Protein backbone atom coordinates (compact mmCIF):
# COMPACT_ATOMS: atom_id res chain seq x y z
CA UNK A 1 0.00 0.00 0.00
CA UNK A 2 1.91 2.98 -1.30
CA UNK A 3 1.46 6.65 -0.39
CA UNK A 4 2.70 9.08 -3.03
CA UNK A 5 2.78 12.47 -1.37
CA UNK A 6 3.91 14.23 -4.55
CA UNK A 7 4.95 17.84 -3.73
CA UNK A 8 3.21 17.87 -0.35
CA UNK A 9 4.39 17.48 3.26
CA UNK A 10 7.68 19.22 3.93
CA UNK A 11 9.79 17.96 6.85
CA UNK A 12 7.63 19.47 9.59
CA UNK A 13 4.30 18.21 8.29
CA UNK A 14 5.90 14.86 7.37
CA UNK A 15 6.96 14.42 11.01
CA UNK A 16 3.49 15.35 12.25
CA UNK A 17 1.83 13.03 9.74
CA UNK A 18 4.05 10.09 10.67
CA UNK A 19 3.37 10.55 14.36
CA UNK A 20 -0.40 10.60 13.76
CA UNK A 21 -0.21 7.59 11.43
CA UNK A 22 2.12 5.41 13.50
CA UNK A 23 0.15 6.04 16.69
CA UNK A 24 -2.76 4.22 15.06
CA UNK A 25 -1.00 1.76 12.80
CA UNK A 26 0.65 -1.04 14.78
CA UNK A 27 3.05 -3.43 13.06
CA UNK A 28 1.36 -5.57 10.38
CA UNK A 29 2.54 -8.95 9.15
CA UNK A 30 0.33 -9.29 6.11
CA UNK A 31 1.15 -6.12 4.19
CA UNK A 32 3.81 -3.55 3.50
CA UNK A 33 3.20 0.19 3.53
CA UNK A 34 5.41 2.41 1.39
CA UNK A 35 5.85 6.15 1.73
CA UNK A 36 7.08 8.30 -1.14
CA UNK A 37 7.65 11.70 0.48
CA UNK A 38 9.31 14.62 -1.29
CA UNK A 39 13.09 14.22 -1.12
CA UNK A 40 13.48 16.92 1.52
CA UNK A 41 11.23 14.92 3.87
CA UNK A 42 13.03 11.57 3.48
CA UNK A 43 14.97 12.02 6.72
CA UNK A 44 11.83 12.83 8.70
CA UNK A 45 10.04 9.71 7.45
CA UNK A 46 13.15 7.52 7.75
CA UNK A 47 13.60 8.37 11.40
CA UNK A 48 9.89 7.88 12.15
CA UNK A 49 9.86 4.34 10.68
CA UNK A 50 13.29 3.30 11.92
CA UNK A 51 12.09 0.21 13.82
CA UNK A 52 9.27 -0.75 11.43
CA UNK A 53 10.08 -3.59 9.02
CA UNK A 54 6.54 -3.44 7.60
CA UNK A 55 7.01 0.13 6.32
CA UNK A 56 9.36 1.04 3.49
CA UNK A 57 10.64 4.39 2.33
CA UNK A 58 10.77 5.37 -1.32
CA UNK A 59 11.73 8.29 -3.52
CA UNK A 60 9.50 9.79 -6.19
CA UNK A 61 12.18 10.14 -8.85
CA UNK A 62 15.90 9.69 -9.53
CA UNK A 63 18.36 10.58 -12.25
CA UNK A 64 20.24 7.72 -13.91
CA UNK A 65 23.81 9.00 -13.51
CA UNK A 66 25.69 8.06 -10.33
CA UNK A 67 26.88 11.59 -9.61
CA UNK A 68 27.99 14.79 -11.32
CA UNK A 69 26.88 18.11 -12.68
CA UNK A 70 23.11 17.53 -12.75
CA UNK A 71 21.70 20.41 -10.74
CA UNK A 72 18.46 19.56 -8.99
CA UNK A 73 18.68 15.80 -9.47
CA UNK A 74 19.06 12.87 -7.05
CA UNK A 75 21.07 9.71 -7.65
CA UNK A 76 20.06 6.20 -6.67
CA UNK A 77 23.04 6.04 -4.30
CA UNK A 78 21.85 9.15 -2.48
CA UNK A 79 18.35 7.73 -2.20
CA UNK A 80 19.76 4.50 -0.74
CA UNK A 81 21.95 6.46 1.66
CA UNK A 82 18.86 8.35 2.85
CA UNK A 83 17.12 5.06 3.66
CA UNK A 84 15.04 4.54 0.53
CA UNK A 85 14.38 1.01 -0.71
CA UNK A 86 12.02 1.72 -3.59
CA UNK A 87 12.03 4.24 -6.44
CA UNK A 88 8.97 5.41 -8.36
CA UNK A 89 9.80 5.44 -12.06
CA UNK A 90 7.65 6.80 -14.86
CA UNK A 91 4.87 8.25 -12.72
CA UNK A 92 2.32 9.85 -15.03
CA UNK A 93 3.23 13.32 -13.75
CA UNK A 94 6.86 12.67 -14.69
CA UNK A 95 5.75 11.48 -18.13
CA UNK A 96 3.05 14.05 -18.87
CA UNK A 97 4.07 17.15 -16.88
CA UNK A 98 7.86 16.81 -17.23
CA UNK A 99 7.99 15.03 -20.59
CA UNK A 100 9.77 11.89 -19.40
CA UNK A 101 10.11 9.38 -22.24
CA UNK A 102 10.06 5.57 -22.29
CA UNK A 103 13.80 5.71 -22.98
CA UNK A 104 14.37 7.76 -19.82
CA UNK A 105 12.25 5.40 -17.71
CA UNK A 106 14.43 2.56 -19.03
CA UNK A 107 17.61 4.38 -17.97
CA UNK A 108 16.13 5.06 -14.55
CA UNK A 109 15.00 1.45 -13.97
CA UNK A 110 18.47 0.23 -14.99
CA UNK A 111 20.11 2.71 -12.60
CA UNK A 112 17.80 1.58 -9.80
CA UNK A 113 18.74 -2.05 -10.45
CA UNK A 114 22.47 -1.19 -10.50
CA UNK A 115 22.06 0.66 -7.22
CA UNK A 116 20.32 -2.27 -5.54
CA UNK A 117 16.94 -0.60 -5.00
CA UNK A 118 13.51 -1.71 -6.21
CA UNK A 119 11.87 0.11 -9.11
CA UNK A 120 8.12 0.69 -8.94
CA UNK A 121 7.41 1.27 -12.62
CA UNK A 122 4.20 3.20 -13.31
CA UNK A 123 2.34 2.60 -16.56
CA UNK A 124 -1.00 3.83 -17.82
CA UNK A 125 -2.84 5.23 -20.79
CA UNK A 126 -4.35 8.69 -21.29
CA UNK A 127 -8.08 9.02 -22.02
CA UNK A 128 -7.68 9.46 -25.79
CA UNK A 129 -5.66 6.25 -25.92
CA UNK A 130 -8.35 4.37 -23.95
CA UNK A 131 -11.11 5.80 -26.16
CA UNK A 132 -9.18 4.76 -29.26
CA UNK A 133 -8.91 1.19 -27.95
CA UNK A 134 -5.16 1.50 -27.44
CA UNK A 135 -4.98 1.21 -23.65
CA UNK A 136 -3.49 -2.29 -23.65
CA UNK A 137 -0.89 -1.60 -26.32
CA UNK A 138 0.24 1.59 -24.53
CA UNK A 139 0.58 -0.19 -21.19
CA UNK A 140 2.44 -3.13 -22.75
CA UNK A 141 4.79 -0.75 -24.58
CA UNK A 142 5.55 1.25 -21.41
CA UNK A 143 6.12 -1.92 -19.43
CA UNK A 144 8.57 -3.47 -21.88
CA UNK A 145 10.30 -0.15 -22.51
CA UNK A 146 10.70 0.57 -18.79
CA UNK A 147 12.35 -2.75 -18.04
CA UNK A 148 14.27 -3.01 -21.33
CA UNK A 149 17.67 -2.24 -19.86
CA UNK A 150 17.38 -4.24 -16.66
CA UNK A 151 19.58 -7.32 -16.85
CA UNK A 152 18.51 -9.27 -13.76
CA UNK A 153 14.72 -9.28 -14.04
CA UNK A 154 14.48 -13.00 -13.33
CA UNK A 155 16.09 -12.59 -9.92
CA UNK A 156 15.49 -9.03 -8.74
CA UNK A 157 12.41 -7.55 -7.07
CA UNK A 158 10.43 -5.12 -9.15
CA UNK A 159 6.97 -3.65 -8.73
CA UNK A 160 4.53 -2.26 -11.23
CA UNK A 161 1.67 0.21 -10.82
CA UNK A 162 -1.14 0.49 -13.33
CA UNK A 163 -2.35 4.06 -13.18
CA UNK A 164 -4.72 5.11 -15.95
CA UNK A 165 -3.81 8.77 -16.38
CA UNK A 166 -7.46 9.83 -16.68
CA UNK A 167 -8.09 8.47 -13.18
CA UNK A 168 -5.24 10.23 -11.38
CA UNK A 169 -6.40 13.05 -9.15
CA UNK A 170 -9.66 13.32 -11.10
CA UNK A 171 -12.08 11.49 -8.83
CA UNK A 172 -12.68 8.97 -11.66
CA UNK A 173 -11.58 5.44 -10.85
CA UNK A 174 -11.26 2.57 -13.27
CA UNK A 175 -13.90 -0.05 -12.53
CA UNK A 176 -12.45 -2.95 -10.57
CA UNK A 177 -13.16 -5.11 -13.66
CA UNK A 178 -11.22 -2.81 -16.01
CA UNK A 179 -8.36 -2.48 -13.55
CA UNK A 180 -8.26 -6.22 -12.99
CA UNK A 181 -8.29 -6.92 -16.72
CA UNK A 182 -5.29 -4.63 -17.25
CA UNK A 183 -3.50 -6.16 -14.28
CA UNK A 184 -3.83 -9.59 -15.81
CA UNK A 185 -2.36 -8.27 -19.06
CA UNK A 186 0.53 -6.85 -17.04
CA UNK A 187 0.99 -10.17 -15.22
CA UNK A 188 1.11 -11.98 -18.57
CA UNK A 189 3.72 -9.57 -19.94
CA UNK A 190 5.75 -9.76 -16.74
CA UNK A 191 5.96 -13.52 -17.24
CA UNK A 192 7.68 -12.92 -20.56
CA UNK A 193 10.05 -10.45 -18.91
CA UNK A 194 10.73 -12.03 -15.51
CA UNK A 195 9.74 -15.67 -15.91
CA UNK A 196 8.38 -17.42 -12.82
CA UNK A 197 9.12 -14.47 -10.61
CA UNK A 198 6.22 -12.63 -12.24
CA UNK A 199 3.81 -14.69 -10.13
CA UNK A 200 4.85 -12.75 -7.02
CA UNK A 201 5.58 -9.36 -8.57
CA UNK A 202 3.28 -6.85 -6.86
CA UNK A 203 1.01 -5.04 -9.31
CA UNK A 204 -0.56 -1.99 -7.71
CA UNK A 205 -3.54 0.00 -8.94
CA UNK A 206 -3.56 3.79 -8.70
CA UNK A 207 -6.04 6.47 -9.66
CA UNK A 208 -8.41 8.26 -7.26
CA UNK A 209 -8.28 5.48 -4.68
CA UNK A 210 -10.05 6.38 -1.44
CA UNK A 211 -11.26 4.58 1.70
CA UNK A 212 -14.60 3.88 -0.04
CA UNK A 213 -13.29 2.13 -3.16
CA UNK A 214 -10.09 0.59 -1.75
CA UNK A 215 -11.67 -2.62 -0.34
CA UNK A 216 -13.39 -3.51 -3.63
CA UNK A 217 -10.25 -2.83 -5.63
CA UNK A 218 -8.18 -4.91 -3.21
CA UNK A 219 -10.65 -7.79 -3.52
CA UNK A 220 -10.23 -7.89 -7.31
CA UNK A 221 -8.08 -10.51 -9.00
CA UNK A 222 -4.48 -9.52 -9.71
CA UNK A 223 -4.69 -6.25 -7.75
CA UNK A 224 -2.01 -6.72 -5.12
CA UNK A 225 -1.89 -3.24 -3.68
CA UNK A 226 -2.73 0.41 -4.21
CA UNK A 227 -0.71 3.50 -5.12
CA UNK A 228 -2.46 6.48 -3.63
CA UNK A 229 -1.97 10.22 -4.04
CA UNK A 230 -4.70 12.49 -2.67
CA UNK A 231 -6.09 10.08 -0.06
CA UNK A 232 -2.61 9.51 1.37
CA UNK A 233 -2.30 13.14 2.47
CA UNK A 234 -4.72 12.86 5.35
CA UNK A 235 -3.63 10.49 8.11
CA UNK A 236 -7.11 9.14 8.79
CA UNK A 237 -8.01 8.44 5.15
CA UNK A 238 -4.58 6.89 4.58
CA UNK A 239 -5.04 4.71 7.66
CA UNK A 240 -8.36 3.50 6.28
CA UNK A 241 -6.83 2.72 2.87
CA UNK A 242 -3.76 1.05 4.35
CA UNK A 243 -5.99 -1.21 6.46
CA UNK A 244 -8.28 -2.17 3.58
C1 LIG B 1 -0.80 8.97 -7.84
O2 LIG B 1 -0.27 10.02 -7.57
O3 LIG B 1 -0.09 8.02 -8.16
C4 LIG B 1 -2.25 8.86 -7.73
C5 LIG B 1 -2.82 7.73 -8.04
O6 LIG B 1 -2.94 9.98 -7.30
P7 LIG B 1 -4.49 10.03 -6.83
O8 LIG B 1 -4.68 8.92 -5.84
O9 LIG B 1 -4.65 11.38 -6.22
O10 LIG B 1 -5.33 9.82 -8.05
Kindly report, residue by residue over 146-201, the tens digit of the pLDDT.
999 999 999 999 999 999 999 988 888 889 999 999 999 999 999 999 999 999 99
CATH of domain 2-242: 3.20.20.70
- At residue 171, the pLDDT reads 84
DSSP 87-145: EEES-HHHHHTS---HHHHHHHHHHHHHTT-EEEEEE---HHHHHTT-HHHHHHHHHHH
Q: Which residues line ligand 1 (CB under 6 A)?
A: 4, 6, 163, 168-169, 206-209, 227-231
| Local structure of residue 230 (DSSP, 8 states) | G
Question: In angstroms, rounded to a whole number, what is the distance separating the alpha carbons of residues 23 and 56?
Answer: 17
Q: Which of 100, 163, 183, 189 is catalytic?
A: 163
Q: 161 — phi, psi (to 5°)?
A: -125, 130
Supply the residue whose CA is at minimum distance from atom 8 of ligand 1.
Answer: 229
CA of 139 to the centre of ligand 1 (A): 17
Please check whether residue 9 is in contact with residue 45, taking contact to mean a CB–CB distance below 8 angstroms: no
Comparing C-alpha atoms, which of 205, 181, 12, 192 is closest to residue 214? 205
Q: How many residues are listed for the chain in this entry? A: 244
For atom 2 of ligand 1, the residue with the nearest CA is 229
Question: Atom of ligand 1 at shortest distance to CA of 210?
Answer: 8
Q: Is residue 96 annotated as a catalytic residue, yes or no?
A: no
Residue 47 has what pLDDT?
97
Residue ranges covered by each domain of the chain: 2-242
**Catalytic entry in 91, 93, 100, 183:** 91
pLDDT at 172 (0 to 100) = 83
Examine the residue annotation and report whether 136 is marked as an active-site residue of this protein: no
| Residue 99: per-residue pLDDT | 97
Kindly give the number of the ligand 1 atom that is closest to the alpha carbon of 206. 5
Question: Is 38 strand, coil or helix?
Answer: coil
* Percent over 70 (pLDDT), the chain: 100
Report which ligand 1 atom has the smallest distance to the Cα of 168.
Answer: 10
- Other CB atoms within 10 Å distance of the CB of residue 236: 12
Scored b (16 or more CB within 10 A) or e, 214-230 reads: beebbebebbbbbbbbb
User: Residue ranges of the chain with pLDDT lower than 70?
Assistant: none
Amino acid sequence: MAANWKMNNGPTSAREFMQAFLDQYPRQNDRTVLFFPPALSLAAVASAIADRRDILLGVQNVYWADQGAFTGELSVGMARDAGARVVLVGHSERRHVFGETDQQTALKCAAVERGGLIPLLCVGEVLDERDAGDAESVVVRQLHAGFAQMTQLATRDVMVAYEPVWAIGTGRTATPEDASAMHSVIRRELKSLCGDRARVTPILYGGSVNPGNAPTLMASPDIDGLLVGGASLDASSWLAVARS
